[in-house]
Amino acid sequence: MRRTTDEQPAGERLPGPHRSRGGVVPVLAFAGITVAVMQTLLVPVIKDLPTLLHTDPSNATWVLTATLLAGAVATPIMGRLGDLYGKRRMLLASLAVMVVGSLICASTDDLVIMIVGRALQGFALGAIPLGIGIMRDVLPREKLGSAMALMSSSIGVGGGLALPGAALVAQHADWHTLFLGSAALGVLAMAMTVAVVPEPPLRATGRFDLVGALGLSLGLVSLLVPVTKGASWGWTSPLTLGLIAAAVVILVLWGLFELRSKTPLVDLRTSARREVLLTNLVSVMVGVAFYAVSLVLPQLLQLPASTGYGLGRSMVVAGLCVAPLGLTMMLVAPLYARISARRGPKISLLLGMVIIAIGYGAGLGLMSAAWQTVVIAVVLGAGIGLAYSSLPALIVGAVDASETGAANGLNTLMRSIGTSLSSAVIGMVLANTSTRVGSVNIPTMEGFRISFMIATGAVLIGLVLAAFLPAQRPARPVLLAGSAGDAVSGAASAGPARAVAPAVAGELRTSAT
C-alpha cells in the first residue's frame, strides 16, 4: 500500500517528543479495560433480564447478541477508519458512542431501546485494535512488546475485575446503575486519551470502502445471528440454515469485490499470507477457550450444593473466584515481553496454548471446591494471557504500519467469532445435558466436563495451527535520522509489508547518535 509523503516508513516510531510520553500505555490499557467492563456488565443479571425487561427469555438474549454483533461489525471498520483518518480520533469516537449507548440503557426498561443502547455500546470494541495501532506508531521499540501484550489482555483483565463489581452493584443497587458506571468510565477514558495520547501522523492512502463495509456487516450479521440463536431456533430450522447459507454467499461475493477494489476495507491478499491467516485461525481457537471458562465456572459456583456438585456460592463470591482469570492475564504481560524478546511471539503463543490445555485438562478433575475453581482460573488466565499477548505482535510483525488498525481489527473480529462459537456450542451442550429440578432445568456436571473437553480440543487445534507459523526473520539494524537521542536501532526487512516490530521479533537495543 502506498504511503503519503508525511507518513513514517513501516516500523519507525514518531520522533522524541511523542516517544517520551510514558502515560500512553496505561491510558490505552484503561480504555481497553473500560470496553471489557461494558461487555461484562450484564453477566450477573443475565438470568433476571426477562423479568427486568418485561419480556420472554428468547427476546431478552438479544440484549447480549446486539452487543456482540455491533462489536464484530465495528472492529474491522473502525480499524480501517483509524488507518485512514487518525487512530486517536476513531478511538475517541468509539468511546463516545459507547457512552451514548450506556446512557440510553441507563434510562430505559424497554426491550427495543435497550437493544439499541447495547448495540451502540458494542462499537467500543474497536478501541482494542485502535489502541494497538497507536502503540505501534508512538512507542519506542523496546516498550512495544509488553505494551501490546497489556492492551491485548485488557479484555480479560476488565472482565475479571468487572464481574465481582457488577455482581455487588446488582445485589445492592438498581441495575441501571451498572450502565451509569460504564458511561462514567467511558468519559474518564476519553478525557485521559485527549490529555495524554498523541495523534500519530501515519495515514493510509485511498478512501473508505463503503461498499465493502456494508457487505462485511451484512455477511457477519447473517453469520453470527444464527450462530448465537441456533440453540433456541433449532440448528436445522429453515431460518438458521437460510441465514448461514446467505452469509456464505454474501461473504464470498464480498471477498471477490475486495480483491478487485483498489482501496479495500480488508486487504485479503495480506490476510491470506501464511503468518496472518494462521494467526487469525489460532485467534478463533483462543476465543473459544477464553469464553468456555467464563460460561462454566460462574454457573458451577452458583448452583446449589443440594445438586450434589454445585458449590452454592453467592453471585459476588462466584465473581471473586473467577476474577483471577483476568488478573493473571495482566500479570503475565511482563513475562510475555521477556519470552518474546528472546524467542519470538510464536514461542510465547505455543507456550500459552500448552498452559491453556493443561488448565482445562486439570479442570476436568478440579470442580469439587471453590478454591479449585480459583486454581483453574489462575492457570487458564496465565495461558490465555500469553496467547492473547502474542496475537497482535504476530499481526503487527506481518503487515505494513499503515494497515495496523485494519489488520488488528480483523484479528479482534476472529476472537469475537471464537467467543460466539464457544457461546453457541457450549450453550447447546449445557442445554442438552441439563436436568430438571422442580420447575427449572439446570446444567449437569456432565455438561460442564464436556464443555471443558470442547475447549481443550479447540486449544489443541490451535496448537497445531500455531506450530506452522513461520519463525521471525532476523532483523537488520536501521538508524533513523533525528536529533541526538532520537535515533533508534530498529529492524526492517526488504519491503515495508514485511517490516517486523523488533521489540517482538527479537532482542532489541536502543542506540543514540
pLDDT profile of the chain (513 residues), mean per 10: 40 42 82 84 78 81 82 83 88 94 92 92 86 83 74 72 77 86 93 90 80 88 82 85 93 90 80 85 89 83 83 81 81 76 85 92 85 90 86 80 71 80 80 76 86 92 90 42 29 31 33 32
With 0-12 CB in 10 A as exposed, 13-18 as middle and 19+ as buried, what is 436? exposed
DSSP letters for 477-512: P-BPP-STTT--B----SSGGG---HHHHS------
CB 193 within 8 A of CB 95: yes
436's enclosing H/E stretch is: strand 435-437
Q: Where are the domains of the chain?
A: 16-208+263-505
pTM for the model stands at: 0.73
pLDDT at 22: 64
What does the alpha-carbon distance between residue 53 and residue 31 come to, in Å, rounded to a whole number? 29
> Which 8-state DSSP code applies to residue 103?
H
With 0-12 CB in 10 A as exposed, 13-18 as middle and 19+ as buried, what is 74? buried
- Please list the alpha-helical segments (H only) found in 86-125: 87-106, 111-122
The bridge status of strand 440-442 relative to strand 435-437 is antiparallel
pLDDT at 472: 59
pLDDT at 353: 92
pLDDT at 91: 93
pLDDT at 285: 92
Say whether 198 sits in a helix, a strand or coil: coil
Residue 3, strand partner residues: 204
Residue environment code for 342-354, b if the CB has 16+ CB neighbours within 10 A, otherwise e = eebbbbbbbbbbb
What does the alpha-carbon distance between residue 390 and residue 61 come to, in Å, rounded to a whole number? 32
What does the alpha-carbon distance between residue 347 and residue 335 come to, in Å, rounded to a whole number? 12
pLDDT at 503: 35
Taking only Cα atoms into account, the Rg of the chain, rounded to an integer number of angstroms, comes to 22
Residue linked to cell 463516545: 96
pLDDT at 500: 33
Under CATH, what is the fold of the domain 16-208+263-505?
A: Growth Hormone; Chain: A; (1.20.1250)
